[in-house]
Chains A and B, each alone.
Chain A
Amino acid sequence: MVEPILELVDVKKSFGDHEVLCGISMKVMPQEVITIIGPSGSGKSTLLRCMNLLNEPDGGKVIFLGHNITDKDIDINAVRAQMNMVFQSFNLFMHLTAKRNISLALMKVKKMKKQEAEELAIQTLNKVGLSDKADAYPGELSGGQQQRVAIARALAMNPKVILFDEPTSALDPELIGEVLDVMKSLALSGMTMVVVTHEMGFARDMADQVIFMDQGLIAEQGTAEQIFVNPQNPRTKTFLKRILKEVGALDPGIPSDFVPDAENGQDNP
């Protein structure tokens, strides 16, 4: 039997009195792409940040490759080296070139020699189509380019899974495509990915599994087709209706079968 790469068991998280995650259980299987969708404040990002313990869960288990990583005697740095994250605001190291953004962790965490690390950095930049920007600083790159460098930075670590926290939400609309293209080629290459996103096109086309979160719980979970074409939970329907209307207004290229039922389809311009 194939073991999951990552498994959450009844993960709970509160900030003060506010319970953000009310008990989440899910599995991430090898080579699987999971997209997490849902309204703002539903706990999507917190869920993702509980996976690599950037936010420490208050309860439940996070099991990575068979080990419960919330145990105190787990070396969390060794875990994170295999479970990288791509952030909404890129978070490239502003004082380092694209190449050194990538080579830093290779040298500090993977203990590679400088030359070896920089060669791998350039190879990885090549994969995201930015080998010509190796010596550019983040401040000299567009948002889309910065996010591609950030993806390369995660990818170069050769992780078991990459967590994407709304990777296109901070981008100008015309820059979203280039980042999604890189993510698609990553997914097709067999990378295991967990993606929190508002990009319904990506969520639908690339996901093996879609998770709809609402109010700190998984409200509905299934294949892209189940969630987008035939959602069961009324909250999922309402959410999809609203967001697809917004997206549809922005992007007339969204196909009409995107919309859960015909009644809503009429609202969609």
Chain B
Amino acid sequence: MVMTIDWTIVPEYFDVFMRGLQMTLLIAVISIVLGFIGGILIGMGRISRNPVIYGLSTIYVEAFRGTPLLIQIFLVYLGLPQLGIYVSSPLVAGLLALSLNSAAYQAEIFRGGVQSISKGQMEAARSLGLSYNQSLFSVVIPQAIRNALPPYTNEFITMIKDSSLVMTIGVLELTLRGKLISATTGQSIPVLIFVAVLYFVLTFSTSRIMRVVEKKFAIPGMMGSE
């Protein structure tokens, strides 16, 4: 059966779309932030001179990067309760899985940033009497994160889109809302296109915001500064 495309569905269900958008934004922001913090911790492990810390963080990164995010979401939502670990809601399970996954990717972004900084920076700091940690936090990491902003932007955009996977465990975010509206009304094309447009608004804003951040933190006299 051919249905005429009815765009009035969009204003009609606008509130529902917006609730979905809100949830998606919340999930993306929280998992990006938790993933960023986790990524720095695990990334520090990846540059650690301690073989145990290095080994564990490497296993973490390879495990989360090398398996499907969807399986990770199911494992957290369905697997943890089987181990007796209580997960209060699909949202919490989804946030946990997304954050753990993003931390693995952001750890590698962080490591790449640190390794882009010349060894001489660390040596100069150490030769002035700064400790290894002081040198890392005052000299290396501030430059490393600046250099890593473009790949961080990629990861943030990926997270916004991949947050849609938590619909599979019943989190009422944008994609699941859209799917429900389209099932109720049969208007798949306008609904899905509008959902896609809303994702694009989020990702495009992210990329613009990150450009501003890059400019703000650009080091004068270096590539990328004005």
Which residues from chain A sit less than 8 Å from chain B, CB to CB?
52, 54, 77-82, 84-85, 87, 89, 91-95, 104-105, 108-109, 136-141, 150, 153-154, 157
C-alpha gap A77/B135 in the complex (Å): 11
Which residues from chain B sit less than 8 Å from chain A, CB to CB?
118, 120-121, 123-131, 134, 138-139, 142-143, 146, 219-222, 225
Contacts of B124 in A (CB 8 A): 85, 87, 91-93, 150
Contacts of A79 in B (CB 8 A): 129
Contact B219 A105 (CB under 8 A): no
Known: A54-B123, A87-B120. A139 touches B222 (CB 8 A): yes
**13 extra interface residue pairs, beta carbon distance < 8 Å, beyond A136-B221, A140-B221:** A52-B127, A54-B126, A77-B130, A80-B128, A91-B124, A93-B139, A95-B139, A95-B219, A104-B138, A108-B138, A137-B221, A141-B221, A157-B129
Contacts of A141 in B (CB 8 A): 221
C-alpha gap A118/B219 in the complex (Å): 20
Known: A104-B138, A139-B219, A139-B220. A91 touches B121 (CB 8 A): yes
B142 to chain A minimum Cβ distance, whole angstroms, is: 5
Contact of A78 among B125, B129, B222 (CB under 8 A): B129
Number of interchain pairs (Cβ within 8 Å): 82
Contact B219 A89 (CB under 8 A): no
Contacts of B146 in A (CB 8 A): 95
By CB atoms of chain A within 10 A, which of B118, B129, B220 has the most?
B129
Contacts of B121 in A (CB 8 A): 91, 93-94
A149 to chain B minimum Cβ distance, whole angstroms, is: 11
Contact B129 A94 (CB under 8 A): no
Contact of B219 among A80, A104, A137, A154 (CB under 8 A): A137
Contact B220 A77 (CB under 8 A): no
Contact A153 B221 (CB under 8 A): no
Contact of A84 among B118, B128, B139, B225 (CB under 8 A): B128
Contact B221 A77 (CB under 8 A): no
Contact A105 B221 (CB under 8 A): no
Smallest Cβ-Cβ distance to A92: which chain B residue: B124
Contacts of B222 in A (CB 8 A): 94, 137, 139
Contact B120 A94 (CB under 8 A): no
Closest 9 pairs between A and B when the two form their complex, measured CB to CB: A139-B221, A81-B129, A91-B124, A105-B128, A140-B221, A91-B120, A85-B127, A109-B129, A137-B220
C-alpha gap A49/B118 in the complex (Å): 17
Contact A93 B129 (CB under 8 A): no
